[in-house]
Amino acid sequence: MNKLKIAVAGLGGITQVMHLPILEKNKDVDIVAICDKEFTKVKNLQRKKNFGKGYKDIDEMLSEHTDIDAVIIATRTDDHVDTAIKCLEAGKHIFVEKPIALNAAGAKKIIAAAEKNKKLLMVGMNNRFRPDSILQRNFVKGKELGEIFYVKAGWLKQQSSDEKWFTEMEKAGGGVFMDNGIVMLDLGMWMLGFPEVKSVSAVNYKHNTKTVEDSNFTFVKFKNGSCLTIEVSWSFLRTGEFFYCNVFGTNGSATINPLKISKMINKQVFDITPKNIKVLSGNYRNSFENELKYFIGAINGTHELVSTGNEALAVMEVLDAIYKSAQAGREIIFK
């Protein structure tokens, strides 16, 4: 099998710490080009390693490298739509880091371009690919916990980037929810099987920020009777980072970080957490490795595509309602 030719657009922290090192070690791909509007990032990376030819302009990269099979898009959020459509129109499969766009309208444009050009679109939701998340989801999908009626998820941590655009509403689309909340929303909806949304209520706080929120608390109701709560914050006065996703069903529950599975058997609750499965401590890095392998496998036809554009759109529609609810101070009802 010929190696896939991969280009990377956007050379921020997550690209340099995760995407490039992981792709570099993958024997099924060659990194043939890197691109960033801040060309100093390109030059700095090229001084360290050979990541193919460097570009400042995405149009130039696509016109010169017609042999590119796929592009990893990790640019600034407000560049996602333009960059994604250009890559798709050039006949490239794309992996877009979360969030897919600033809003649902932007997501629809990317999805339409992918369908028109018959190319794969995968959205980077790495928390689905944590080994403990996968195990948790397997118990849910296998109906081991009965009918799932409530998911409680949260991520309390420091701001992921200190770049100026990261806290500018028009460029980032939001604050802590766009950074951390969106992945918890995706994880929760994935655990529930993406049911239809009934309503959304949200509260935002700006303790240490000006135009974007640094804390968010959201409550989502679904038409099937289930619900999801999310708490995310950059500004909680606590030590350390806290990441969790707790799933509750009519016959048991499952938590991650740490992984624990509880099930009702003969009217008693037992811990049925697999004892012979070692959940690695490097769940975070493993999640990026797994999702990029999955994207490459989907292109090669060995995996069915997951974390699709349509799932991302469902998430973005809820996200739009979250910001609308927080601003209006009321529950948003879905039609």
Banded model confidence at residue 163, pLDDT cuts 50, 70, 90:
confident
Q: How far apart are CA 33 and CA 110, in angstroms?
A: 22
Q: What is the mean pLDDT of residues 153-171?
A: 92
Cβ atoms < 10 Å from Cβ of 232: 27
Cis peptide upstream of residue 21 (ω within 30 degrees of 0): no
| Average confidence (pLDDT) over 112-138 | 96
pLDDT of residue 162: 86
Q: Would you give the distance in Å from CA 168 to the centre of its chain? A: 20
- CB neighbours of 90 closer than 8 A, spacing ≥ 6? 62, 66, 68
Distance of alpha carbon 254 from alpha carbon 228, whole angstroms: 14
Catalogue all structural domains in the chain, each as residue range(s) with its CATH number. Answer: 4-124 (3.40.50.720), 128-288+314-333 (3.30.360.10)
Neighbours of 275 (CB within 10 A): 7
3-state secondary structure of 211: coil
pLDDT, tens digit (0-9, with 9 covering 90-100), for 72-91? 999 999 999 999 999 999 99
pLDDT reported for residue 276: 72
Residue-wise pLDDT for 290-316, tens only, equals 999 999 999 999 999 999 999 999 999
Asked if 324 contacts 332 with a C-beta cutoff of 8 angstroms, the reply is yes
pLDDT at 242 over 90: yes
Residue length of the chain = 335
For residue 280, the model assigns a pLDDT of: 54
| pLDDT range class, residue 277, cuts 50, 70, 90 | low
DSSP 84-151: HHHHHHTT-EEEEESSSSSSHHHHHHHHHHHHHHT--EEEE-GGGGSHHHHHHHHHHHTTTT-SEEEE
Name the pLDDT band for 279 (thresholds 50, 70, 90): low
Q: What is the mean pLDDT of the chain?
A: 95
